[in-house]
Structure 1
Amino acid sequence: MSDRHIIKGISNELIARVLYYLSTGIVIVVLGRELPNQSYGTLFLLISILSFATTFSTLGFAPSAARFISDSIDENQNKISFIILFSAVFVVSASFITSSTLVILRNLISKIVNNNVVADLLLFSPAYILAYSGYSYSRILLQGFRNVSRSSTVYAVEGIVRVLSVLSLFVIGFSVIKAFSAYVFGYLLSSVMGGVFIYQRVSREYSFKIEYDWSLGEKLMHYSVPLAITRTSRTIESHIDIILLGVFSGPVSVSHYVVAKQVGTFMQSPAAAVGHAVSPYYKEKIDDDSQNAYKFYMKIFALTLIGYLSLSIVVVIGSKYIISILFGNNYSESVVVLQLFSIFVLLKSLTFITENGLDYLGYANRRARIKSISIVFNVLLNVLLIPSFGVIGALVATIGSYAIYAVYTIRNMFAVLALSR
């Protein structure tokens, strides 16, 4: 695959992520201004709970299938339909089990997070779980097909549909359940689009005839385990701070924290786009020219480091104006959080361009081990710091634990590429 093709993939993914994060930014700003702080905090507490649940509905089957599809394109295209069917059956089954469990345990979950509204909202969790699982599965499989443009389109459409749904609330009125429905609708339409793209790719270039290969299915399941561990750890890391803030400090603290965190998430979009686009090609780069693969990663790493150091400095200086302009004076406590969050954004940007590449190179086990250690450390720090320090404690716990994972992951990528030279 030529560098021009990879650059085109990066450009498409970056455009999609800009559209996605712009639409997400509009959603956050509109909801932050129109919903009361407590309702805003409740909404994102609910989404954090459901995001944690989706790790069990998707497990590691989608990225594992994507890895084997990527290999099969070059080696054995007859296996592709079996890989899709095998992985899809597991994802659908896991989604039904997960969503049913949430409905059954909704009252217990509500008591744990000290928020009675959550119990009522969890009745609608099956719609969210199934829609999100379909969206995530189709997007990741398209990446495995090396069709980054289509994968990026699915990503962008989800954000655009969500923001249009939220803007429609100016007509029908704002509430937590209506805002939540906007998220469900975005995932639902984008998952349908992703399924259509996969169908078109298979019907056009491959065969729907399924050649059952249970040994391949066993390999897919085996490789999904470390990926499931890593993705579960990543989701816990992204949402455990919000959930524990809800438990110990309430929805208002969640609202202040989420505002800063969402701004930080928007900042990460360029690095996330690069990482998503280049990851499937590292193995091909090594096979073609291992020295070139090392230089390729070094160039991306250096540009990302310089760019995000500069961006972090700008955010630290202008955080007060960013928060006040976007969200108003009700979120002044988010200013310090955003300043500290710029450190996390820098670490996150460097791992975005690294971690999925290790998976495609076959080193998911290494990443899973350190991710598990860092997430345990994250949870312990959050439990220790949030009761005493609130929002700042949650942020310190997140940065401290993630730094361990970031250093290890980057070091491993350099080591793997250096050994291949």
Structure 2
Amino acid sequence: MSTREHIVRGFKATLVSRAVYMLSSALLMFVLARVLNPDGYGALYWAIGILMVAQLFADLGLGKSTARYISEYSEKDEGQIPHLLQSAIVYKLVVLTVVAYALLLFHERIAIVLGDPDAAPFLAAGVLFIIANSFSGFSMMAFQGFNRLGYSAAVQAVSGATRLVFAVAFVVLGFGALGALFGYIVGYAIAGAFGLTVLYFKFYRTYDPAEEYEEGLSRRLAEYSIPLTATRSANVIDKRLDVVLVGVFLTPAAVGFYQLGKQITDFVLAPAESLGFTISPNFGEQKATGQLEQARRIYEESLTHTMLVYIPAAVGLVLVAEPFITMVFPEYEGAIPVLQILAGFIVLQAITNLTSDSLDYLGRARHRAIAKGGTSVANFGLNIVLIPTMGVVGAAVATVATHTVYVAVNLYILHSELALRIGRLARSVGTVCAITLVMAVAVSLVRPMASSLTMLIATIALGAAVWALLAVASGMVDPREVRSVLG
């Protein structure tokens, strides 16, 4: 199987899983937002934001570090892989034990310090949340290292589907926001058990362990997790700590508005995340075999097609955000400006999803960690300044501003590795912007008529049709290739 065919196959598998995951997440978002009201919805996701900060210390960078070395030793010495997995599991159990015990011991004090003693039960239940989520995520990353993305896809799909079923069931049974959190826990636990079972029987047991564990490999596994931990810390600041700060400075309802906007952007970003998750292991393999020219071509094609989708999508989201929120989530009008500002973040994050993991597999995790750490500290500072003065809009502005810098640095580092053809990429992006402009004019002309959900869907469909027509007419999309990929 060629590299292109392997990427297409992995992308399709991952995209299907992301579709299941994001569809289940969208349904969960819709049900919880309707049932819990802005205050309850905000309280739930404020608690989850705090738990995801704690999750950082429970996971460190072990999952990605393990994936990186699995990818490398799949080419060099497969006998080391069982030893790698054993070391990773031992490290993870030790760290999880420490973090879980600390959270159980101090959950009430943490809730009081953050200004909401009522959050204590959520944080106590968070011990189970962290353990279940940790093993679910670890198995997904390990499968990525093996470049067996179908299994990663399956774990994610199981997680999303079971989380939806149990969270909705517990809320309907009257357990409220805390019941929804336990739905998350059950979903992650089932996905983690499934992932670890497959990892053991389909991978660990199929390799004959080398007689000796390569000297220093266990140490390198732990050491490489350090810059990845720094990067993950920065990701937590960008994606979770802002939610926590909104809750600290504002109200649970404000958290609900901000979280809803972020969840909608996550839904839009699912395809780019799937593609980034798919192509990045190939970079590690190609660097190990000296095929960087092929890696460059793959990245440039992926970036061009990603921009073709996400620049128009972001502009379209700005145009339809107000009628969409008003019709679908009438109690959440405060989310409209958040969603419009975060449309810019969608383009930036789409680039990041393609680039970040690729840098890790190219061995540039330390440099990416430095960039991510710097911009995340800036993001934290801007949130402290802007949230009290601008409200939830300030958090969105801080996210877009700092992420712009991070994306620029990432692209520079990747360019130093792959020598990207800047002129060619610039011409492609220029064509995308022209297509987007025409699409935006078409949507703007009919948007005033979008007085019902049916008309809003028709407006979005018109924009999509104009985009598709121009994408084909400009030569940026070949219908035959699309049919080939989908087939």
Q: Name the TM tier (shorter chain).
A: over 0.9
Q: Does 1:316 align with 2:306?
A: no
CA offsets 1:307-327 (integer angstroms, 9 cap, x no match): 101101111111123213332
SS in 2 for 1:175: helix
Pairwise CA distance, 1:374: 0.5
The corresponding residue for 1:185 is 186
In 1, Cα distance between the equivalents of 2:204 and 2:348? 41
Shift of 1:372: 0.7
Note the 1:106-185 alignment, pairs <5 A: 106-169=107-170, 171-185=172-186
* Corresponding letter in the other structure for 1:72: Y
**How many Å separate the matches in 2 of 1:354 and 1:137?**
21
Deviation at 1:167, TM superposition (A): 3.0
SS in 2 for 1:125: helix
2-structure distance, mates of 1:129, 1:305: 35
Letter in structure 2 aligned against 1:386:
I
**Is contact 1:34-1:174 (8 Å) kept?**
no
The structural deviation recorded for 1:214 is 4.6
Q: State whether structure 2 residue 343 is matched by structure 1 residue 366.
A: no
Deviation at 1:201, TM superposition (A): 2.3
Structure 2: how far apart are the matches of 1:180 and 1:360? 34
Moved over 6 A (4+): none
Structure-2 change in CA distance of 1:177 and 1:158 (3 Å): same
- The one-letter amino acid paired with 2:416 is A
The alignment's TM-score, normalised by the length of structure 2, stands at 0.83
| SS, match of residue 362 in structure 1 | coil
Query: In structure 2, how many angstroms separate the alpha carbons of the residues matched to 1:2 and 1:40?
Result: 44
In 1, distance between residues paired with 2:25 and 2:328? Answer: 13
Distance in 1, matches of 2:294 and 2:215, equals 37
Q: CA deviation at 1:203?
A: 5.0
Q: Deviations over 1:344-391 (max 9, x none)?
A: 111000010011001001000110001110011011000011111110
Q: CA deviation at 1:288?
A: 5.6
**Aligned residue type for 1:2:** T
CA distance in 1, matches of 2:204, 2:410: 38
Instruction: Indicate conservation of the 8 Å contact 1:57/1:92, yes or no.
Output: no
The 1:214–1:337 alpha-carbon spacing in structure 2 relative to 1, beyond 3 Å, is same
Shift of 1:90: 1.1
- What is the CA–CA distance in structure 1 between the aligned matches of 2:215 and 2:52, rounded to whole Å? 31
Cα-to-partner distance string for 1:241-261 (whole Å, 9 max, x where unaligned): 111111100211101111111
Give 1:232 shift: 1.4
Contact in 1 for aligned 2:234/2:372 (Cα 8 Å): yes
Moved more, 176-185 or 163-172: 163-172
SS across alignment from 2:208: coil
The correspondence of residues 26-175 of structure 1 with structure 2, limited to 5 A, is: 26-169=27-170, 171-175=172-176
What residue ranges of structure 2 are gaps of 5+ in the alignment?
Answer: 422-487
Decide which moves more: 297-306 or 104-113: 104-113
Q: What TM-score comes out, normalization by structure 1 length?
A: 0.96
CA 1:171–1:379: 2 relative to 1, 3 Å: closer
Deviations 1:98-157 (A, max 9, x none): 121122222232123321221122111211111011111111011111110001110111
Q: Identity percentage over the alignment?
A: 30
Structure 1 residue identity aligned to 2:23? L
Q: Report the alpha carbon displacement of residue 62 of structure 1 after superposing the two structures with TM.
A: 1.3
Higher RCO by CA contacts (8 Å cutoff, separation 6 or greater): 1
Q: Which amino acid aligns with 1:177?
A: L
Structure 1 position 339, deviation (Å): 0.8
User: Among 282, 286, 295, which residue is 2:297 paired with?
Assistant: 295
Kindly tell me: are residues 207 and 312 of structure 1, through their superposed partners in 2, closer, same or farther at Cα, counting changes over 3 Å? Answer: same
Confirm or deny that 1:411 pairs with 2:435. no
Q: Distance in 2 between matches of 1:40 and 1:283?
A: 41
Residue equivalent to 2:244: 243
Q: RMSD of the TM alignment (CA)?
A: 1.7
Aligned counterpart, 2:437: none
Whole-angstrom CA distance in 1 between matches of 2:166 and 2:358: 35
Quote the Cα distance in structure 2 between the aligned partners of 1:336 and 1:171: 31
- More displaced 10-residue stretch of structure 1: 119-128 or 147-156: 119-128
- Match of 1:230? 231
Q: Is the 8 A contact 2:10 2:150 kept in 1?
A: yes
Paired residue type of 1:242 = V
In the other structure, the counterpart of 2:280 is 279
Q: Relative to structure 2, which stretch is displaced further, 409-418 or 210-219?
A: 210-219
Q: What is the one-letter code of the residue matched to 1:347?
A: L
Any idea what SS the aligned residue of 1:114 has? coil
Is 1:218 paired with 2:210?
no
The corresponding residue for 1:347 is: 348
Decide whether aligned partners of structure 1 residues 405 and 316 sit closer, same or farther in structure 2, where only a CA change above 3 A counts. same
Q: Map 1:261-280 to 2 at 5 A.
A: 261-280=262-281
User: AA paired with 2:299?
Assistant: Y
Q: Report the 3-state secondary structure (helix = DSSP H, G, I; strand = E; otherwise coil) of the residue aligned with 2:216.
A: helix
Provide the rounded CA distance (Å) in 1 between the counterparts of 2:389 and 2:346.
24
Instruction: Tell me the equivalent position of 2:474.
Output: none
Cα deviation, residue 165, structure 1: 1.1
**Aligned residue pairs, count:** 419
Structure 2 Cα separation of the partners of residues 240 and 2 of structure 1: 38
Paired residues of 2:68 and 2:284 also in contact (CA < 8 A): no
- Which position in structure 1 is the counterpart of 2:328? 326
Tell me, yes or no, if the aligned pair for 1:81 and 1:210 is still in contact at 8 Å. no
Instruction: Indicate conservation of the 8 Å contact 2:71/2:285, yes or no.
Output: no
What amino acid is aligned across from residue 266 of structure 1 in structure 2? F
Instruction: Please name the residue that 2:442 is paired with.
Output: none
Structure 1's 383 and 170: CA in aligned 2 closer, same or farther, altered over 3 A? closer
Query: What amino acid is aligned across from residue 295 of structure 1 in structure 2?
Result: R
Instruction: Return the letter of the residue paired with 1:198.
Output: L
SS in 1 for 2:391: helix
| Counterpart AA for 1:365 | R
Question: Residue 394 of structure 2 corresponds to which residue in structure 1?
Answer: 393
